[in-house]
Every structure is written in C-alpha cells, then in structure tokens.
Structure 1
Amino acid sequence: MESIMPKVIGLIISLGIAYLIYKWNKKHKQSKIYYAIAFMFLIGGLYMPFTKTVSPEQEAKESSISEKSSLSEKRKIEESISKSMSSLKSEKSASESKNKKIAKEVSKAAKSSESSSKKIPREYISALIKGQEYADRMYMSKKAIYDQLTSDYGEKFSPEAATYAINNIKADWNKNALHKAKDYQEEQNMSPDAIYDQLTSDSGEQFTPDEANYAVQHLDK
C-alpha cells in the first residue's frame, strides 16, 4: 500500500499541473509550446501508476543476491583452476615415476646380464634405454625402433647396440599397434583396411601382419 500511494499522489499532481497549464494557456497565450508542456504532464501522470517502485529493502535484497552470485562464480573459477593445477601436477608426477621405473628396469636388466656374462658395453645400455622410451612413449613397432636407433638422422647407434636393445625391450607390440591404430581412427578417421596398410607399411609403422591384425580386430566398431 505504501508503494501505491506515491504513485497516486504523483498522478493527481501531474494531472493538476497539466490542467492548470492548459487552462492558463487557453485563456492567455494560446501557445502550442504550453499545450505541449501540458500534454507531457498529462502523459507522465497517466504513465506513473505503471512504473515499478523498488523499496530500499528489495533493492538491498537484490544487491545481496547479486553479490552472492558473483562470489559463487568466483569460487567455481578458483575451484576449476585448482583442479587443473592438481591434474597437471599429477600428470607430471606420473611421467617422472614412469621414467624412473624405466631406468630402474633397464639398470636391473643390465646388472642381471652382467652377472651372467661379460660386461655389457655402455652403448648397448644407452640404446636399450632409448628403445624402451620409444616403445613406452611413442608406441613404435620393433622394426621402427631399430631403424630409429641406427638412423643417421636418429640416434646413430651401431647395429649391434640396436639389436641388443630390440631383444631386451619389454613391450607388448600388439598393444602398441592397437594404440597407433586408434590414433589413426580417431584423429584421421581412416578405415580399418587403410589403418592395416599404414601399420604394416615399410614407410609407415612397420608392425608385423599379426600385430596389425590384432590392432584392427580390437578397434572400436
């Protein structure tokens, strides 16, 4: 009721002023400008009941809701940033742990070989470490790793060192082929037949036919 009364009073005052200006102008000057002013007061008075009055309590309430919403959005952003940082730290830790595991396994294999035969050349051990990294990180085939280890544009190891590495790498070549096949399927949208050809090609991944067959048979249908 309190919010309606000011509107009613404003309506009466506006209509009164419009009427007085109209009567005075009609009696004295007959000016269009004064008629226009009277008309503006009339329109303003008629429009006033339809205006929305916001009480101080409502305004304070709306302001409080807006502030709470802003704080909520800020918290969501902070939580999102925190989760992203945590994920990056976790990935970094997992990568470091994997590298340590590879080095430990290679060192263990080297020590075992040393105890059963003559000392293994350092080049052989280095080639094995590199080969294991290619198998674990890039999911390369046995032949592709050998070529990379011996290539003049690659690691430049001797054929003997590369052969030692290939014979001692611990890898599931079928799973490596499947991982490569899924990359071709998801990123390049290749058909199973085209993926098979790419996996077995000498200019491609150089997997064996059996490894390529395993990969194609286990692709998402």
Structure 2
Amino acid sequence: MILPLRILMFLLMLAIAYFIFRWNKNNSGKKRWYALAIIFALASFGALGDTPEARHQEAKESSISEKSSSSEKRKIEESMSKSMSSLKSEKSASESKNKKIAKEVSKAAKSSESSSKKIPREYVSALIKGQGYADRMYMSKKAIYDQLTSNYGEKFSPEAATYAINNIKANWNKNALQKAKDYQEEQNMSPDAIYDQLTSDYGEQFTPDEANYAIQHLNK
C-alpha cells in the first residue's frame, strides 16, 4: 500500500472510531461500543504500519541507493587505478632512462678497455656522473669538468674528469639551446642576456659557437 493511501485509511478509521465514541457517549453508553471505537482507533495506526508493499518499496529504494553508491565507489577506484598506473609508468620510464645511460657508459668503458689497459674505476665513475649531468641537466663541457673536480662537487681527480669529458656522448649545441630555452621561458631573459649567461665563466660556460647556435635556434 503506497503512503498516501495508508494516510487516507488512517484518517478514515480514526474518524470512524471518533464518531462511534461520541455517538455511544451521547446515546447508549455501552462498553461494547467503546471497545469497537478503540479497535478502530488501533486499526487506524496499523494502517500506517509495515506492509508487504511498503517493504517492497523500501527494498527498491535501498537497492537504487546501493547501486548508486557502488557506481560512485567503482568510479573512484578506477580513477585511483589510473593515477597509480600513470605514476608507475613515469617511474618505469625514469628507471629505464637511467639504466640506458649506465649501459651506454659501461659499453664505452668496455670498448676503451679492449683497446688499451684496464680503465681505473674512478675514471668510469667520473664518466657516469658526467654523462648524467650532460643528459639531465644539459650542462656544458667546461661546467661538467668543474663540477667533477670541485671540492664542493664530486671531487674527482683532474685525470678522471678529463677522461669523462673526452668520452661523454653529448650534443653540446643542443645542451646550450635547452639552457637558453629555460632562461627564456622561466626567467623571461632577452637573447643578449641569455648569450652572456651561456658564455659567462660564472654562468653556463658554453663556448661562443655553442651559445650562438642556441640564440639562432631559440625561437624555431
């Protein structure tokens, strides 16, 4: 029984109970009529009680609510799964790049070793460090050398740093261009100011030719 009909039945039966009570009070005053009025009054409250139809309606509404909640939960789980997958993919790509660098350096070291005497471990370590600075930070040849030999940097010997610089695989022109783009996009510097920063002994320490290449290709 749907709710509006149950309310109507409640009011009707309550009205009947009231009229029976008033009629009996004004006329016969017999107890059985009072009892009948009480029965109708109680039955009116029963009309508002639980019924199979009401239970069915509540079950239907509960099912809809559960389905909606389940759908939202599934969407949240899918979103979290996509985020985790993206993070794993980025981490995997970074690890793959580092492994590739290490593999290339190891290959170069083995190639040199086969053509000459055994390369000292310090030289190989300096080469790995230097290759990382060139690939990830786009540093110049001279800046990498200074970083490798600096007491505030890697503290390699001049010989190990020289070996590293001579064996690093890098396009110095493209490194200079990448640095120039960073200055232009992040610090909004002019081409002349970027050139000075690229060639300065207190800046990036690229050669004039490398800096010129960067400026010429800055907006291409």
TM-score range, shorter chain: 0.5 to 0.7
Give the greater-gyration-radius structure (CA). 2
Report the more deviating stretch, 164-173 or 199-208: 199-208
Task: Please state whether the residue corresponding to 2:187 is helix, strand or coil.
Answer: coil
Report the counterpart of residue 200 of structure 1 in structure 2.
199
Q: Which amino acid aligns with 2:138?
A: Y
| Match in the other structure for 1:104 | 103
Q: Per the alignment, in what secondary structure is the counterpart of residue 152 of structure 1?
A: coil
Structure 1 segment 46-65 matched on structure 2, within 5 A: none
> Partners in 2 of 1:220 and 1:73 — Cα distance?
47
Indicate the RMSD between aligned Cα atoms, in angstroms: 3.5
Partners of 1:147 and 1:211 lie apart in 2 by 18
Residues of 1 paired with 2:209 and 2:78: CA distance?
Answer: 48
CA positional deviation for 1:130: 0.7
CA distance in 2, matches of 1:97, 1:80: 26
The number of equivalent residue pairs is: 182
Q: Give ranges in structure 2 of 5+ residues lacking alignment.
A: 1-58
- Gap regions ≥5 residues in structure 1: 1-59
Q: Which residue of 2 aligns with 1:42?
A: none
Matched-pair contact (CA < 8 Å) for 1:192–1:216:
no
Distance 1:90 1:124 in 2: 33
Percent identity for Structure 1 against Structure 2: 90
TM-score, normalised by the number of residues in structure 2: 0.65
In the alignment, which residue of structure 2 is the partner of 1:150? 149
After superposition, what is the alpha-carbon deviation per residue over 1:113-156, rounded to whole angstroms, capped at 9, x for unaligned? Answer: 11111221111111101101111121111111000000000111
Using the TM superposition, give the Cα deviation of residue 220 of structure 1 relative to its aligned residue in structure 2, in angstroms: 3.9
Counterpart in the other structure of 1:5: none
Decide whether aligned partners of structure 1 residues 190 and 117 sit closer, same or farther in structure 2, where only a CA change above 3 A counts: same
Q: 2:219 & 2:82 partners in 1: Cα distance?
A: 30
TM-score w.r.t. length of structure 1: 0.65
Q: 1:64 to 1:98 in 2, by over 3 A?
A: same
Write out aligned runs for 1:60-75 (5 A): 73-75=72-74
Alignment correspondent of 1:94: 93
**In the TM superposition, what whole-angstrom CA distance separates every residue of 1:35-59 from its partner, at most 9, and x where no partner exists?**
xxxxxxxxxxxxxxxxxxxxxxxxx
**Could you give the per-residue CA deviations for residues 174-207 of structure 1, whole angstroms, max 9, x where no partner exists?**
2222222222222x33233222222221111111
Deviations 1:25-78 (A, max 9, x none): xxxxxxxxxxxxxxxxxxxxxxxxxxxxxxxxxxx9999888777655544443
Taking structure 1 as reference, are residues 68 and 182 closer, same or farther at Cα in structure 2, changes over 3 Å only?
farther
Contact 1:146 1:166 in 2 (8 A): yes
Change (3 A) 1:172 1:77: farther
Q: Distance in 1 between matches of 2:83 and 2:135?
A: 25
